[in-house]
Amino acid sequence: MAMMEEFKKFAMRGNVVDLAVGVIIGGAFGRIVDSLVQDVIMPPIGRLFGGLDFASYYIPLNGQAYGLALAEAKKGGAVIAYGNFVTILLNFIILAFIIFQMVRLMNRLRQRMVPEEAAKAPATPEDILLLREIRDSLRNTPKQ
């Protein structure tokens, strides 16, 4: 029973919940980027390379015909699906660039917040001010 309580404390911590929300939003965002690459970016690129779906480009390794769909070519044996690899690589590059921009923006916002906090130096306590006045007045008094 103690382990369940410990797990409950762990799961209800703010960081764990924030991480879960981040993973869920990241998964949804990843699907948006997938759609952007597959449905918007890759069709024009595929058109430039012969009008086929770029993700279905492959190099047959078992003598399959080049004109087959990728799924059919895989049924016939091993293939190097370089078109699919390039599509996934493009997904990664776009996603990494967007995450980089988000982190960069967050760092800029943090840097703007830090100087304001640094400028607000804590007020010197009154007893310290009084001690300084006493010290200064003792320095200025003539010695006998």
**Is the pLDDT assigned to residue 131 strictly greater than 60?**
yes
Q: How do residues 21-55 score in pLDDT, each as one tens digit?
A: 888 888 888 888 888 888 888 788 778 877 666 77
Distance of CA 118 to the CA centre of its chain: 28
Q: How do residues 78-118 score in pLDDT, each as one tens digit?
A: 888 888 888 888 888 888 888 888 889 888 888 887 666 55
pTM for the full predicted model? 0.56
Q: How far is CA 45 from CA 40, 50, 125, in A?
A: 10, 9, 68
Instruction: Report how far residue 90's alpha carbon sits from residue 82's, in angstroms, rounded to the nearest whole number.
Output: 12
**Is the pLDDT assigned to residue 123 strictly greater than 70?**
yes
Q: Nearest to residue 28, comparing CAs of 36, 16, 41?
A: 36
Per-residue pLDDT band at 120 (split at 50, 70, 90): low
